[in-house]
């Protein structure tokens, strides 16, 4: 039996695609399905891309469509300049033959968590709107989820969409604050560690021959994402945000954490900033600060190369 039952909540998105295909290939992960959210793209495109990715990987898994906009604030612009207008860089839109399930993302999450108490890791790698809506729909899931391992936030690294805020939290700060406030295990894989994990065009090119289908796709999709990093960050590579969060589930030993309650600034210039909250307000979050960078990079690259 596979060790980790995982639902990925996602806004694919180039690094989301890396995370999803990694999850499909890692033999210790039982991917139960995907739930979709706006962020890198619209929820429509996130849903289409999620269905298409699972078909590309030959995985017959459910996709549940998520929210169209944040729970409180007005919707922010999608990050097409980072991931391309269709979400996978210059790769043309891939039209899936399959359809999403009838349930909403929140309904799907609550049903599966209630059917598998204590066993499911929720892995949000986009804005946290669906996770907050699932908590509102059934607050009891907080006692039944094994862990919420999220890509998002930043403690000491500063922001990537403003100087204070990381993109996933910035897109829906109220939802993120609800997730950090709930009484469940949260592991925050934020910019403090994901900014350290960089792969290069040469790394991605090395996946094509051994894994022409999935490695080839990721190499094609990553070209636009590489160019964004050259233009915006001044280096010839890309941050591996979302796959790093998934890998923290299977190899927590490669990460070092500090436990602190976390809250989100909900107004003003620093909206979307994650900060250390007082211990009386809310449960502690496991915040990742250290990472074995080479081991994480190699885990991703070797897992894809051993794929197809
Ligand atoms: O800040 C990085 C995060 O925002 C990643 O999840 C990326 O895919 C975007 O959603
Ligand atoms: Ca993402």
CA of 239 to the centre of ligand 2 (A): 11
CA of 49 to the centre of ligand 2 (A): 12
- Tell me the pLDDT tens digit for each residue of 191-218: 999 999 999 999 999 999 999 999 999 9
Whether 241 is catalytic is yes
What six digits make up the tokens of 153?
């936030």
The reported pLDDT for the residue numbered 2 is: 83
Query: 113 near 120, Cβ under 8 Å?
Result: yes
Q: Please give the number of the atom of ligand 1 that sits closest to the Cα of 151.
A: 6
Query: 184 near 142, Cβ under 8 Å?
Result: yes
Q: Please give the number of the atom of ligand 1 that sits closest to the Cα of 167.
A: 1
pTM of the full structure: 0.98
Pocket of ligand 1 contains residue 13 by CB under 6 Å: yes
Mutate which of 40, 149, 172, 194 for ligand 1 pocket (most atoms within 8 A of beta carbon)? 40
Cα(213)–Cα(87) distance, integer angstroms: 18
- Tell me the pLDDT tens digit for each residue of 46-85: 999 999 999 999 999 999 999 999 999 999 988 899 999 9
What six digits make up the tokens of 42?
């619209």
Answer yes or no: is pLDDT of 1 > 80.
no
B/e letters for 243-262, b = 16+ CB within 10 Å, e = fewer, are bbbbbbbbeeebbebeebbb
Closest alpha carbon to 185 in 275, 122, 251: 122
What six digits make up the tokens of 196?
């350290």
Give the β-pairing of 186-189 and 255-260: unpaired
Closest alpha carbon to 7 in 38, 37, 52, 42: 37
Which superfamily is assigned to 4-305 in CATH? Ribonucleoside hydrolase-like (3.90.245.10)
SS3 223: helix
- Tell me the pLDDT tens digit for each residue of 111-137: 999 999 999 999 999 999 999 999 999
Residues above pLDDT 70, as percent of the chain: 100
Closest alpha carbon to 86 in 62, 54, 53, 123: 53
- Tell me the pLDDT tens digit for each residue of 242-285: 999 999 999 999 999 999 999 999 999 999 999 999 877 799 99
């Amino acid at each position: 039996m596979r060790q980790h039952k995982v639902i990925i909540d996602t806004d694919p998105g180039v690094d989301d695609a890396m995370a999803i295909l990694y999850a499909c290939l890692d033999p210790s992960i039982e991917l139960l399905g995907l739930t979709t959210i706006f962020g890198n793209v619209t929820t429509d495109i996130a849903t289409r891309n999620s269905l298409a990715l699972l078909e590309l990987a030959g995985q017959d898994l459910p996709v549940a469509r998520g929210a169209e906009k944040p729970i409180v604030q007005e919707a922010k612009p999608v990050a097409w300049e980072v991931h391309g207008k269709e979400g996978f860089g210059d790769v043309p839109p891939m039209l899936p033959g399959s359809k999403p399930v009838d349930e909403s993302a929140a309904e799907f999450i609550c049903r599966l968590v209630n059917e598998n108490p204590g066993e499911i890791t929720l892995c949000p790698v986009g804005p946290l709107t669906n996770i907050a809506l699932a908590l509102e729909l059934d607050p009891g899931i907080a006692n039944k989820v094994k862990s919420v391992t999220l890509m998002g936030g930043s403690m000491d690294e500063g922001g990537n969409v403003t100087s204070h805020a990381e993109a996933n939290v910035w897109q829906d700060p109220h939802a993120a604050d609800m997730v950090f406030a709930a009484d469940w295990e949260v592991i925050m894989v934020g910019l403090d560690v994901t900014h350290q994990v960089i792969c290069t065009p040469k790394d991605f090119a090395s996946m094509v021959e051994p894994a022409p289908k999935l490695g080839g796709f990721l190499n094609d999709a990553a070209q636009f994402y590489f160019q964004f990093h050259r233009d915006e960050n001044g280096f010839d590579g890309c941050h591996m945000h979302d796959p790093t969060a998934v890998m923290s589930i299977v190899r927590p030993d490669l990460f070092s954490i500090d436990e602190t309650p976390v809250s989100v600034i909900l107004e003003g210039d620093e909206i979307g900033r994650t900060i250390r909250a007082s211990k009386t307000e809310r449960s502690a979050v496991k915040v990742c600060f250290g990472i074995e960078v080479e081991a994480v990079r190699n885990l991703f690259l070797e897992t894809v190369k051993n794929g197809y």
